[in-house]
Chain A
């Protein structure tokens, strides 16, 4: 058991190291002046010497490997550097916004999968009837609505014309602890997140279930007099559970990507907007932290899903593949 945990931790550490190196190099290869985000427009009027001195102060004059080693050294000690734009420790900025994204992401994630499973079960029970067909068609159409465009239309309808919901933000000023208020602000972003991801996962689960209900044990259960509903709900669903957990693990990146767009449309303060901004303006330290947090989240959830799967189905343990490789189809 100890070895098992040790191996997982090892994978995690190696992974984070590679990821940080990859992003570090990529970010610094990009042409553009990080000083611009530190000093603003004033940087255009700087003389060459001033420019050099400023780079030196921010430690940008060293060679790439030296910069990277210094960064790792500081990061291990919990210091992720200051954000050039905000001129505060990057971790402070991140912490202020991480909660918002996690809340939105988690609620979206849970609702997408709860609804996806329910819809998939429903479609399986009514396979090839008109309800199923309508849901399939509608699902495909909704899935292909560009999410930002859908978001704009929702704002137009619910905020501008009906005045039912706020058009943006995460909560009203000074009410960050008011859950109801937060929920109210999350409804429109959630609607977009759910519509743009729901069908993709419903379709996958539905296909799994459709294959499952053609197994022989279903016939047996049927013969014993079980209703279709309880067969699917109690037996089939349990059998496809490992597939669902795998899908759920992979989907974390997708749903996180989704929050990027949604945060931009609804002016929702979160790490999605933050990471796009920091990449655009070369706010290196902030960018590194955002990517690492995202990466850590994804890896951890993948490891977690693998562990769950191994509990659900011990056969999984024998092969060395990661959960990502085990995903059979899309």
Chain B
């Protein structure tokens, strides 16, 4: 901006670069910092953790006298065609969904960071091999890969689903980590650490990680969303959790059944919960990526 000052004067009616001055507005600041998202996500998390004290019906019971009831004072979110209370199972299901989201993220981050660093620090030949392997894995459509591995793993549980989703989605993270590592691996401090005999985990933890943490933060956080999304897709395709374990995904896939019975609450409520959660997580991810400090546009 400053160095362009002269230039602006030359072009008489040139686009005026007026900075917005409403910076200080409270709402704007709230919007900039994802307080709202944090709040909503916090409420959702708390609700799921304390599902037992929130719910007013047993989540696995069938209220045979109240089939397909729209939301009312007894069943806040209505009941489905078998008389299950949606309000109660939403919190229970959220527990499973969020668990899969967070632990899937943890697993893929561990694998991705470790693999990426190893590959980045390795000699060119090995690095190339490792990256080609990852590339090959990512060339199999991930649903198919997950399905293959799940069928070996036996009966799916939330843990195995999270492990499989995490174990098949780390490739792009590894690639980013590797390219970051390759940029800093020749730095003096790493050479020094190496020559002083530091082990690979030590270098990884003390020297590499802090340097690329901010670069991968967004990918890591948004991978929670993609894990939750993948789980719901698996449930929809009938490949996910067994029917007795309820998650938002399996609730959403049940909405398939409700399409013709006009029970909008069965279709809409789990969908709204899942979309709101994903949006909140993404919003926080965007914030963590750090404000993209772009100069003003040259256009």
Chain A residues packing against B (C-beta within 8 Å): 15, 18-19, 22-23, 26-27, 29-32, 124-125, 127, 140-141, 144-149, 152-153, 155-156, 160, 210-211, 213-216, 218-219, 222-223, 228, 231-232, 253, 256-257, 260-261, 264, 272, 275-276, 279-280, 290-291, 294-295, 298-299, 302, 320-322, 324-325, 327-330
Which residue on A lies nearest to B131, using beta carbons?
A325
Q: If A291-B140, A295-B139 touch, does A322 touch B131 (CB 8 Å cutoff)?
A: yes
Q: If A260-B141, A261-B236, A295-B140 touch, does A144 touch B275 (CB 8 Å cutoff)?
A: yes
Query: CB distance B140 to A294 under 8 Å?
Result: yes
**A183 → B minimal CB distance (Å):** 25
Query: CB distance B136 to A144 under 8 Å?
Result: no
Interface stretch of the complex, out of B60-68, B98-106, B249-257: B249-257
The answer to whether B154 has its CB under 8 Å from any CB of chain A is: yes
Query: CB distance B298 to A219 under 8 Å?
Result: yes
Query: CB distance B236 to A26 under 8 Å?
Result: no
Which residue on B lies nearest to A236, using beta carbons?
B299
Contact partner, B239, options A145, A152, A214, A276, Cβ 8 Å? A276
Question: CB-CB < 8 A to A253: which residues of B?
Answer: 138-142
Query: CB distance A156 to B259 under 8 Å?
Result: yes
Give A299 to B139 CA distance when docked, in angstroms.
7
Q: If A149-B252, A291-B144 touch, does A210 touch B294 (CB 8 Å cutoff)?
A: yes
Task: Give a binary string over B285-299; 1 marks a CB under 8 Å from any A CB, 0 the rest.
Answer: 000000000110111
Interface stretch of the complex, out of B84-92, B172-180, B201-209: B172-180
Give A327 to B229 CA distance when docked, in angstroms.
24
Give A22 to B135 CA distance when docked, in angstroms.
13
The number of residues on chain B lying at the interface, defined by a beta carbon within 8 Å of a beta carbon of chain A, is 54
Give A144 to B237 CA distance when docked, in angstroms.
18
Query: CB distance A144 to B179 under 8 Å?
Result: no
In chain B, residues 116-141, which have Cβ atoms closer than 8 Å to a Cβ of chain A? 124, 128, 131-132, 134-136, 138-141
Q: List 20 A-B contacts (CB under 8 A).
A: A18-B136, A19-B140, A127-B297, A127-B299, A141-B279, A146-B233, A146-B271, A148-B253, A149-B236, A149-B271, A152-B259, A153-B267, A160-B260, A215-B298, A219-B7, A228-B299, A264-B236, A276-B237, A280-B239, A320-B124
16 further contact pairs, Cβ within 8 A, besides A18-B136, A257-B144 = A27-B148, A30-B148, A140-B282, A144-B279, A149-B255, A149-B271, A211-B294, A213-B298, A216-B298, A253-B140, A275-B141, A280-B239, A290-B144, A298-B139, A324-B135, A325-B179
Question: CB-CB < 8 A to A144: which residues of B?
Answer: 225, 229, 275, 278-279, 282
The answer to whether B107 has its CB under 8 Å from any CB of chain A is: no
**A34 → B minimal CB distance (Å):** 12
Most buried by B among A213, A280, A325: A325
Give A218 to B256 CA distance when docked, in angstroms.
51
Which residue on A lies nearest to B222, using beta carbons?
A330
Which residue on B lies nearest to A295, using beta carbons?
B139
Give A218 to B239 CA distance when docked, in angstroms.
51
Which residue on A lies nearest to B135, using beta carbons?
A324
Chain B residues packing against A (C-beta within 8 Å): 4, 7, 124, 128, 131-132, 134-136, 138-144, 147-149, 151-152, 154, 172, 175-176, 178-179, 219, 225, 229, 232-233, 236-237, 239, 249, 252-253, 255-256, 259-260, 267, 271, 274-275, 278-279, 282, 294-295, 297-299
**B121 → A minimal CB distance (Å):** 15
Give the number of A-B contacts (CB < 8 Å).
161
**A104 → B minimal CB distance (Å):** 14
Query: CB distance B141 to A328 under 8 Å?
Result: no
Query: CB distance B275 to A256 under 8 Å?
Result: no
Give A260 to B140 CA distance when docked, in angstroms.
12
Q: If A155-B259, A276-B144, A325-B175 touch, does A145 touch B275 (CB 8 Å cutoff)?
A: yes
Which residue on B lies nearest to A326, using beta carbons?
B179
Contact partner, A30, options B7, B151, B172, Cβ 8 Å? B151
What are the 3 closest A-B residue pairs judged by CB atoms, nearest first? Answer: A30-B151, A298-B139, A218-B298
**A323 → B minimal CB distance (Å):** 9
Question: CB-CB < 8 A to B229: which residues of A?
Answer: 144, 146
Give A148 to B4 CA distance when docked, in angstroms.
50
Which residue on B lies nearest to A259, using beta carbons?
B141
Question: CB-CB < 8 A to A295: which residues of B?
Answer: 136, 139-140
Question: CB-CB < 8 A to B260: which residues of A?
Answer: 160
Question: CB-CB < 8 A to A31: which residues of B?
Answer: 151-152, 154
Question: CB-CB < 8 A to A26: which residues of B?
Answer: 148-149, 152
Give A145 to B270 CA distance when docked, in angstroms.
12
Query: CB distance B147 to A279 under 8 Å?
Result: yes
Query: CB distance A152 to B141 under 8 Å?
Result: no
Q: If A148-B233, A320-B128 touch, does A210 touch B143 (CB 8 Å cutoff)?
A: no
**B63 → A minimal CB distance (Å):** 25
**B256 → A minimal CB distance (Å):** 6
**A62 → B minimal CB distance (Å):** 20
Question: CB-CB < 8 A to A330: which residues of B?
Answer: 172, 176, 219
Contact partner, A218, options B140, B179, B299, Cβ 8 Å? B299
Give A10 to B176 CA distance when docked, in angstroms.
27
Which residue on A lies nearest to B253, using beta carbons?
A148
Q: If A27-B148, A291-B140, A328-B179 touch, does A125 touch B299 (CB 8 Å cutoff)?
A: yes
Query: CB distance A222 to B299 under 8 Å?
Result: yes
Question: CB-CB < 8 A to A223: which residues of B?
Answer: 7
Give A148 to B148 CA distance when docked, in angstroms.
21
Most buried by A among B176, B239, B294, B298: B298
Query: CB distance B239 to A329 under 8 Å?
Result: no
Give A280 to B279 CA distance when docked, in angstroms.
33
Question: CB-CB < 8 A to B172: which residues of A?
Answer: 330
